[in-house]
A = this chain, B = another copy of it.
Amino acid sequence: MVLPTRLLMGPGPSNVSSAVLAATAQPTIGHLDPAFQAMMEEVKDLLRFAFQTENAMTFPISAPASLAMEVALVNLLEPGDTAIIAQNGVFGGRMADIAARAGANVVLLTFDWGTPVAPDVVAGAIKANPKAKLLGFVHAETSTGVCSDAKALCALARGAGLLTVVDTVTGLGGTPVEVDAWGADVVYSGTQKCLSVPPGLAPITFSDRAIGCIEGRTTKVQSWFGDLNLVLGYWSGEGGGRSYHHTAPVNAIYGLLKGLQDLKAEGLEARWQRHRDAHQRLAEGLRRLDLQFLVEEDARLPQLNTVRVPTGVDEAAVRSCLLNEYDIEIGAGLGALAGKVWRIGLMGETARPENVDRLLNALGEVLPDLRQAAVA
């Protein structure tokens, strides 16, 4: 098994520190071992810190973040409920798909890809759908690099008695995520973005309002694996009261714990500033290369930069060349943006000036050649 060593500047996974990798490789212990249960409590505490919440129900789902999206929606929604879903990229569309599979009536609000969710449009939809149960939206759209105003959107929903489901897969650990200050109800993320932990787990947090909604269901949650009532017997039981649900991914949790400890040690403000600094350095370099951002400056996520492919340039050739000749991975456009943008991730461990410079140097070498080839 001979693997290349890549600089991961795509939309995730990001680079993982050697300390986190080493943590995952510690000997496996049992998922019901008291030593592992103590570790779970520490993970839950540190996730509360990362999410900036006091929510008791804060834990990592044993699967990728797209399952966390599903867990959030299938627990809150019952057949016949109305869900208002804002879509300004791939992941809002996925929310709508999942909500419909849960039997909900979906009111889909669409926004141009590359723009944030507009609070006034959401306010109008809430007014027009007085029986709606929840608002779902993406705080940090991985497909476009757009940051929407989660605080304003949650305030609108809460003011009208709606629950909120907030996707911040790309946000957590890279840009402010303040679950309690937002008044958000269910918020989830992934490990492989700004937490710089290997992919496979999905941190999630539920407000007491969300728990109340789930406890008041009249139908069973359609998913056994994702049924919060069952999952929580394992994640929230204390000591010997912890009941078996599924076998937790023990070694992955080791890595998450180490990644969260490192986040705590760095501090949230310092971490966010590091991402902003890396973004600023990248933005200045892209300007010198005459490359344009897709997203207006005030809605840009520092950790996920969507850059327009210049006319005449073969975008896939640029990515291949960066990967094969420079060992740098950047991302392609997704969905409506396929072929039109590159996605340059500056997430977690990747968000450091030396990495930005390495990419800028490589782009500077690769692009003139490819532009010339396009002209010739």
Seen from chain A, the residues whose Cβ lies within 8 Å of a Cβ on chain B are 1, 3-6, 8, 10, 12-13, 15-16, 21-35, 39, 62-67, 69-70, 94, 97-98, 101-102, 190, 192, 198-200, 220-225, 244-252, 254-255, 257-258, 261, 323, 329, 334
- Contact partners of A252 in chain B: CB under 8 A: 198, 200, 249, 251-252
A190–B98 touching, CB < 8 Å: no
- CB-based nearest B residue for A61: B63
> Cα distance A190–B64 when bound, in Å?
17
> Cα distance A257–B1 when bound, in Å?
9
> Cα distance A31–B222 when bound, in Å?
29
Query: Which 3 A-B pairs have CB atoms at the shortest separation, nearest pair first?
Result: A200-B249, A25-B25, A63-B63
- Contact partners of A29 in chain B: CB under 8 A: 3-4, 6, 8, 13, 329
Task: Give the shortest distance, in Å, between A104 (CB) and chain B (any CB).
Answer: 12
- Contact partners of A244 in chain B: CB under 8 A: 334
B225–A70 touching, CB < 8 Å: yes
- Contact partners of A249 in chain B: CB under 8 A: 64, 198-200, 252
> Cα distance A110–B246 when bound, in Å?
23
- Contact partners of A334 in chain B: CB under 8 A: 244
Contact of A247 among B6, B21, B190, B224 (CB under 8 A): B190
- Contact partners of A98 in chain B: CB under 8 A: 224
- Contact partners of A27 in chain B: CB under 8 A: 3, 5-6, 15-16, 21
> Cα distance A206–B102 when bound, in Å?
25
